[in-house]
Structure formats: structure tokens, C-alpha cells
Structure 1
Amino acid sequence: MTTTAPVDARLDAANTTVLAEISRTDAKAGVLLTSFSLPLAALVAAVPGHALPPAAAVLVAAGTVGLVAAMLVVLLVVRPRLTGAARGSFLYWSLCTPEALVEDLNNPGDRAAHVIHLSQIARRKYRGLRLAGDITGASLVTLAAALLASLI
């Protein structure tokens, strides 16, 4: 693919934007993992040794499983994928000889494909974060219902 100067500048901007989005997903994932640990720590501290009504116990178990599932989804978001070494990526470069690396860096033709590849990574990470958020919301509602059930 032959590019012109304005397209080159837009590809550079797009690449920068997508890399920033990937960084944002990783930062959000870190915040989510930290925030998920708080209700789990409270459950571990509060539930053992306390007799809960059967309905509340089931709801606590379901909510806890949901929080753990959400944490696992977030861990999958930040887990590095080391397959599919697309040209122009550090994974591809790790497999290159010095000559092949220089050749790849001198070949701007794959820049658009690289931006697309990075965009797919960002989209996959955002989908995972969205799923984790949905699971967390359902889990928190379930835990709130458990609290209400234990008070009745």
C-alpha cells in the first residue's frame, strides 16, 4: 500500500490513538481488579461463621461467583496475547534478524494493517471490560438482595 504524506500523518495519529485506548483499557482493568477485591474481602471477613437464611446464602454464593467471574474476565483482558505476530509489531520484531527488522521498518506499506490489528486488540479489551462490568453489576444486585434477604 502506497501512502501520501497526509495519509501518513493520519496513520500516525490513528496509531497513537489506538495505543492510548489500549493503555486506557489496561488502566481500567487495574482499577476494576482493585475494586473487585473490596467486596470479596468483605465477604470473606463477614460471611464465615454466620448462619445465613437459605435464600441469603444462595444469593451470597451467586454474587461471589459473579465477582470471581468478573475478575477472571478482567484478567483475560490484561493477559498478553503472544500469538499472531503482525508485521510492524514487537512480537514480529522479536522473531526478526537485524536485517529483516530494518526491512520491516523501511516498509511503510503495512502501517494501515498494523493500525487495524491494534484496533482489534483494543476492541477485544473493551468488550472484555464491558462484560466484566455487566457481570459485576448483576453480582452486586445479587449481593444486595442477599443483604435484604438476611435482614428479613
Structure 2
Amino acid sequence: MSATDTQLKAAHAEVKAEITRTDTKTGLLLAFIGAVLAGTWSAGKDLPLTVFALVPGLAGMALLVGAAGLLLASVRPNLGGDHGFPLWATLTAEQIRATVATDLAEDIAGLSRIAVKKFTGLRRAVDLTRIGGGLLILAVLIALGGAA
């Protein structure tokens, strides 16, 4: 095995590991957002909230729902057939061997694009979660402070 083959295989494994890591973070953030939304709804539905507390609270919840949407989009399966499992499902055993033997660099490039797209969605969702959480904290402070 040549040094180039070894480097290609290492790069391929690294990109696949990064996709797995990003998907794991996405799952954890989705669970966190779900817990925050459930807790906020449970705590807020019985409180007499003023408009001053409702506005940032509802905006915060809307941002958290938007973040959850971004996360779901980033883990949505791509069944277009141009890369990964859908492609392999359309090939014969011989075609798979030939494709893997000749197109590892192309596979790395395709997986890297997928990883960047997932990472970008995760990053945007984290930003929205931070802003939404801040707005929820503001709503709680207003509600507890009795601002009218």
C-alpha cells in the first residue's frame, strides 16, 4: 500500500468520524432543546404573564423551534443517490469494488461536503439556541421582577 493510499484512507476515516461526531452533537442539542421547550411550556402555562414577559418568551421559544428545525434538516437523510448508501444500493458487487478502488478521493470530497453542511447547520442551531435561551431568561427575569 502506497503512502498516498494510506493518507487517503486516513482522510476518509477522519471525515467519517467528523460526520459521526456532528450527528452526536446534533442529537444531544435536539434533546436539550426539547427539554427546554417542555420545561418552559410547563412552567409558563400556569403563570400570569404580562405582555412584557410574553414577547421575549415567545420569541425565545420560536428561536428554539427554529434551531430544532435546522438540526433536523442537518440529519435528514439524503436519498438522492449521488453519494454514500443510495449510490452503493444501485451498484453491483463488481461496480462497488471498482468504484471504491478508484474513487476514494472523490468519496472523501463528497463526505467532506456533507460534513461541512452538517457542521454549518449545527453551528447555526447553537447560535439560535443561545439567543432563544437568552430571551427565555429575559422573560423569566421580567416575570419575576414584576415589570408592568
Fold shared per TM-score above 0.5: yes
Residue 50 (structure 1) shift: 2.1
In the alignment, is residue 74 of structure 1 matched against residue 58 of structure 2?
no
Q: Residue deviations 1:83-140, cap 9 Å, x none?
A: 1423xx32211011344334334xx321111101000101111000000000001001
Query: After superposition, where does 1:109-128 map in structure 2 within 5 Å?
Result: 109-128=102-121
| Residue 129 (structure 2) aligned to one of 136, 143, 149 | 136
| Residue 95 (structure 1) aligned to one of 74, 90, 94 | 90
Residue 71 (structure 1) shift: 0.8
Question: Which residue in 2 is equivalent to 1:145?
Answer: 138
Question: 1: CA distance between counterparts of 2:98 and 2:113?
Answer: 25
Question: 2: CA distance between counterparts of 1:95 and 1:84?
Answer: 8
The one-letter amino acid of 1:145's match is L
In the alignment, is residue 38 of structure 1 matched against residue 31 of structure 2?
no
| Residue 85 (structure 1) aligned to one of 74, 82, 85 | 82
Question: Which residue in 2 is equivalent to 1:49?
Answer: 46
Residue 23 (structure 1) shift: 0.3
Residue 43 (structure 1) shift: 1.4
Report the secondary structure of 1:51's partner residue.
coil
What TM-score, normalized to structure 2?
A: 0.91
Question: 1: CA distance between counterparts of 2:64 and 2:21?
Answer: 22
Q: List, as ranges, runs of 4+ consecutive aligned residues in structure 1 with deviation greater than 2 Å.
A: 97-105
Question: 2: CA distance between counterparts of 1:17 and 1:101?
Answer: 21
Unmatched tracts of structure 1, length 5 or more: none
What TM-score, normalized to structure 1?
A: 0.88
Aligned length: 145
The one-letter amino acid of 2:38's match is A
Report the secondary structure of 1:82's partner residue.
coil
| Residue 14 (structure 2) aligned to one of 17, 33, 54 | 17
The one-letter amino acid of 1:36's match is I
